[in-house]
Chain A
Amino acid sequence: MATLSVKHLLGIKYLDEKDIQLIFETADHFKEVINRSIKKVPSLRDITIANIFFESSTRTKLSFELAEKRLSADVINFSASQSSVKKGETLIDTVNNILSMKVDMVVMRHPNPGAGIFLSKHVKASIINAGDGAHEHPTQALLDSYSIREKLGDVSGKKVVIIGDVLHSRVALSNIFALKLQGAQVKVCGPKTLIPKYIESLGVEIEPNLRKALNWCDVANMLRIQNERMEISYFPTTREYTQQYGINKTILESLDKEIVIMHPGPINRGVEITSDVADSSQSIILHQVENGVAIRMAVIYLLASQIK
């Protein structure tokens, strides 16, 4: 069987198409496992994994922890708010201290872009990036593509529009890399101030008009406005944003076809998406969460198989 071409999962940028297919095929098997009455396999019983979160997270952290436990790995959790980081310890020191307790793999979320890449050059352990600033969130992009594949049969040739705060979104960047790698067409849609300059150099088109974007696409991936990353005002009011870029039942019903609605969470109900859309049969938001565990099991399993 093929192995992953990488020793760490730092970003989709470093993967090739074969890696993505291998992760999906492995995730298929784990999806079957997590739907059994006994949802656990003993594969990783001699592996210890540290989840290091320097930034808050609920879904991703729970999903990783569950994936690790379903594979029978030993898990330690660490949040920056309750740690020596506050006392002035550097990232490398913190991680090396954890690794001296014989940890094989590190899952890390960090507010600085490139934190995982930096760490992978300085410590001996397999690193999985669980989000680094506004840079990448590879497992989210993998589970998004996996959910599209599950719903529509294939990712190749599908039209996906990413709507909202693309500028501050690691989910958007990882999704663009993943979707392009699999041969999907991608557009981004949002206020000009929230679309990064030069995004077209990644091979995506900008569609400023929400209705046109929705009429074009098979899948709409809705993003949250990341107020916590905004130091200046990017649009006049939330109400105006919702009127221009929020989706609701009325606009979806006025389209020629039924499109698939995705959201990486957390949802701000009534801002980028209304409740009737988020909870409708068009939305695969909760399938994304379920698939997240299978995808993370696959990534961890494949990376752990390379640890000697």
Chain B
Amino acid sequence: MLSNKLVALSMSQKVLLSSKEIHIILHRLACQLLENHLDFKDTVLIGLQPRGIFLAKRLARILKEEYKVPGIKLGLLDITFYRDDFRRGDKPLEASTTHIDFLVEGKNVVLIDDVLYTGRSIRAALTAIQSFGRPQDIELLTLIDRRFSRHLPIQPNYRGRQVDAINEEKVKVMWEENEGKDVVYLVNK
């Protein structure tokens, strides 16, 4: 615990998005989804484990409760077994639960993740989603888009905020459901 605190003190972090800004952005993203998908009849939302699921669940709730879209289909996708860095990191890759109880065959899939950085997770997700059928099309929604840091030709269709962060910096997204408050930090490692 003590060492954690010391690390926290030695790192400087600044607020990138406040709770209020996140609230506004989430509503904008929901409206943009609504504009393109209208009744969500053939659209499914897929949150990426482990961190994208909070954003996906929040958007699904806003669409359902505030914009009265009935029957939003939400799945949670774990991409661990599809990643391209198996055996390449120091730590083994930890899997999370996949929960998709529908087929994505012929559907419009919206992949949802909190931060888009190198694009490798999304590449893995594009492979992983094929295990559940052949989607009509796939879109990408991210809260934070770290541009200039991509390793692959992947861009989001919907973005919350674009950030120019250098590689030494880390974007930390916190959610009320998990960490007690909505806030996005830019942390100097």
Interface residues of A (CB under 8 A from B): 1, 3, 26, 28-29, 32-33, 36-38, 40-44, 46, 71, 301-302, 304-308
Contact = CB atoms under 8 A, between A and B. Distances in A.
A41 B78 CA distance: 11
A172 to B, nearest CB: 32
Given A33-B81, A36-B131, A42-B127, A308 B92 contact: no
Contacts of B97: 28-29, 32
Give the contact-size bracket for chain B.
Answer: 20 to 34
A304 B82 CA distance: 15
B81 A43 contact: yes
Given A3-B92, A32-B98, A44 B78 contact: no
Contact of A302 (B78, B92, B131, B132): B92
A67 to B, nearest CB: 13
- A37, A38, A43, A306: which has the most chain B beta carbons within 10 Å? A43
Contacts of B162: none
A36 B92 contact: no
B91 interface: yes
Judged by DSSP, the binding face of A is: loop
A42 B97 CA distance: 17
A104 to B, nearest CB: 10
A1 B92 contact: yes
Given A43-B86, A44-B86, A304-B87, A1 B130 contact: no
A44 B81 CA distance: 9
Interface string B70-92: 00000000101111001100011
Interface in B47-93: 78, 80-83, 86-87, 91-93
A37 B86 contact: no
B164 interface: no
Given A1-B93, A29-B81, A43-B86, 4 more contacts: A38-B131, A41-B81, A41-B131, A302-B92
